[in-house]
Amino acid sequence: MKIGLRAWILIIVLFLALLAIAPWKTFEEGVLIKSVEANSSAFESGLRQGQIISSIDGQKVSSFEDFSTIISQKNYSGENIKTTVLTNQGEFILFSGKTPEITVSEIPNSNIKTGLDLSGGSRALVKAQDRELSSSEMNDLKYIIANRLDVYGISNVQISSISDLSGKNFLSVEIPGATPGDLKDLISSQGKFEAKIGDEIVFIGGERDVESVSQGGQDAVVSCPPNQGGSGGYFCQFRFGIYLSPEAAQRHADITKNLDVNLTNPDYLSETLDLYLDDKLVSSLLIGVSLKGRAETQISIEGPGTGSTLDEAGKSAQQEMKKLQTILKTGSLPYKLEIVKLDTISPSLGESFTKNIILLGLIVFIIISVILFVKYRKIKITLAVIMTMFSEAFITLGVAALISWNLDAPSIAGIIAGLGTGVNDQIVIIDESVSNKGISLRERIKRALFIIFGAFFTIVAAMLPLFWAGAGMLRGFAITTIIGVTAGVLITRPAFAELIRKMGE
């Protein structure tokens, strides 16, 4: 049987979908770096998210188990140990006394990205408190939050602005995998930073007053005094440098030139530089007499961290330093936010859900195959319908991979819904081809395609409101359904009609 133009178009589109999905990624060896702890030795050495580790100290890394085995054999015990890491972007050398602070995973088998329902993680739905934001204001807020999470070292963040049917605007923040404990604070906390001398503001957080923030090396350190203990717990101190804009430095000079020398401690001025975060005093820094009236652009920020053990105090100081660095660099959020909804899904639940979805898809294919065979008693027709269903699902997955759409539960439901409409349209084509024998087969199939195109526009019109229903949570269902039915009416169903016509000739 000669292959027609429509069938060739289907074959070409299926090949392009295969290229978009790229299943040959399975043949890459190594582990993928999902995140790198900011300010860590791994970060300072150049390791970054997205790199693929192929060997450590000359030992081949083919899987996550290889990586874990090699790292466990290093026996990090506090003293600096050299670790040579070979990635697809070059070789990196680490000197550290503890396990490299990176998160790795197996290399993805394809370009298909899964949402929280399938991969696990957390989703926060947030909105501005006591006010409605315009689209431009939401875009500004999205940019600031993205910068804040990026500076804080949180990777693979998906941030999107969505609206519900009533016109209310929300921001959806999705983080696959384990979520840091302070995510909620970073999103809901406005993060207003002010440095004051007395009641006068010297500078605020953000690019206007702070040109750069030190985040590594000797310019950003945590120190814990020895011989601590007792009922009061442990104490550590962080310190990092920042560079002020010339305008902020001049404000510092104008304010300090009128200050007196501290009578009890003549090395410092009578007032302190007080640091406020969300109107709460974080730290008070002494101002040296040498800085009186000087427009100094480089200053040092200090703060504490406490804990029941020395290790906890050190981690607390590190976290507080990161939070302050982030807010100083990105500035405060322009609006106070509230978390409307916070969902958390464990990776194990996501894996179980994925298996159930695959099983459900196989059951749907089997049931439809049996019903079609019982109805038409022709194996060729049954196989043609099944192959067309498979083609539509494959093209939908290819488009989703091409546009980097995260497939979640509603998206999978949309693919299944698209398959259902596809089978219905194919039955219309089959029935029209065997009825009204007084009309030519070509005309009967044209009439069937006219009915199918009418149904297509109805489905698309019905899907559009779902972009906003439930604050956009059903957008995945609408997207994949529209992709599936569009691929069907433009590619697979015309090819199926051509195949049925050739069978009837």
Check: CB of residue 21 under 8 Å from CB of residue 111: yes
Longest pairwise C-alpha distance within the chain: 111
Q: What is the pLDDT of residue 30?
A: 85
Can you tell me the mean pLDDT for 54-63?
87
Q: Round to whole Å and give the CA distance between 131 and 57.
A: 55
pLDDT digits (tens, 9 = 90+) for 386-442: 888 888 888 998 888 888 787 777 888 888 888 888 888 788 777 776 665 556 666
Report DSSP state, residue 179. Answer: P
- The neighbour count for residue 450, using CB atoms within 10 Å, is 11
Q: What is the pLDDT of residue 468?
A: 62
35 pLDDT above the threshold of 80: no
Please report, rounded to a whole number, the percentage of residues in the chain having pLDDT higher than 90.
Answer: 2
| List of E strands, 218-372 | 220-223, 234-244, 268-277, 280-288, 298-307, 337-345
Highest mean pLDDT among 13-17, 461-465, 471-475: 13-17
SS3 label, residue 160: strand
Which tokens is 456 given?
């297509």
Report DSSP state, residue 94. Answer: E
235 pLDDT above the threshold of 60: yes
Question: Pick the residue with more confidence: 354 or 56?
Answer: 56
Mean pLDDT across the chain, nearest whole number? Answer: 78
19 pLDDT above the threshold of 60: yes
Q: Round to whole Å and give the CA distance between 392 and 399.
A: 11
Q: What is the pLDDT of residue 42?
A: 79
3-state helix, strand, coil in the chain (%, to 5): 50, 25, 25
91 pLDDT above the threshold of 80: yes
- The neighbour count for residue 189, using CB atoms within 10 Å, is 18
205, with CB counted inside 10 A (0-12, 13-18, 19+), is buried
Check: CB of residue 330 under 8 Å from CB of residue 154: no
Q: What is the pLDDT of residue 429?
A: 78
209 pLDDT above the threshold of 80: yes
pLDDT band at 180 (very low <50, low <70, confident <90, very high): very low
pLDDT digits (tens, 9 = 90+) for 348-387: 555 666 677 778 778 877 888 888 888 778 888 888 888 8
Which tokens is 312 given?
């906890």
pLDDT digits (tens, 9 = 90+) for 130-156: 777 777 777 777 777 776 666 555 556
Q: What is the pLDDT of residue 439?
A: 66
Report DSSP state, residue 180. Answer: P
Amino acid, single-letter form, for residue 74: K
Question: Pick the residue with more confidence: 404 or 467?
Answer: 404
Please report, rounded to a whole number, the percentage of residues in the chain having pLDDT higher than 70.
Answer: 80
Q: What is the pLDDT of residue 120?
A: 65
Q: How far is CA 163 from CA 383, 410, 460, in A?
A: 43, 17, 19
Can you tell me the mean pLDDT for 208-212?
84
Can you tell me the mean pLDDT for 148-169?
67
Check: CB of residue 262 under 8 Å from CB of residue 268: yes
Sketch out the chain's domains with CATH numbers: 5-22+348-504 (1.20.1640.10), 25-106 (2.30.42.10), 121-189+340-345 (3.30.70.3400), 193-332 (no CATH)
Q: What is the pLDDT of residue 410?
A: 80
Can you tell me the mean pLDDT for 110-128?
74
Q: List Cβ neighbours of 144 (8 Å cut-off, separation of 6 or more).
A: 330, 331, 333, 334
Can you tell me the mean pLDDT for 289-316?
83
Q: What is the pLDDT of residue 1?
A: 53
190 pLDDT above the threshold of 70: no
Q: 47-82: string of b/e by CB count within 10 Å (b at 16+)?
A: beeebbbbbbeeeebeeeebbeebbeebeeeeeebe
pLDDT band at 178 (very low <50, low <70, confident <90, very high): very low
Q: What is the pLDDT of residue 184?
A: 66
Q: List Cβ neighbours of 15 (8 Å cut-off, separation of 6 or more).
A: none
Long-range contacts formed by 220-224: CB under 8 A, 24+ apart: 220/39, 220/321, 220/325, 222/305, 222/314, 222/317, 222/318, 222/321, 224/310, 224/313, 224/314, 224/317
Poorest-pLDDT segment among 112-126, 247-261, 447-461: 112-126
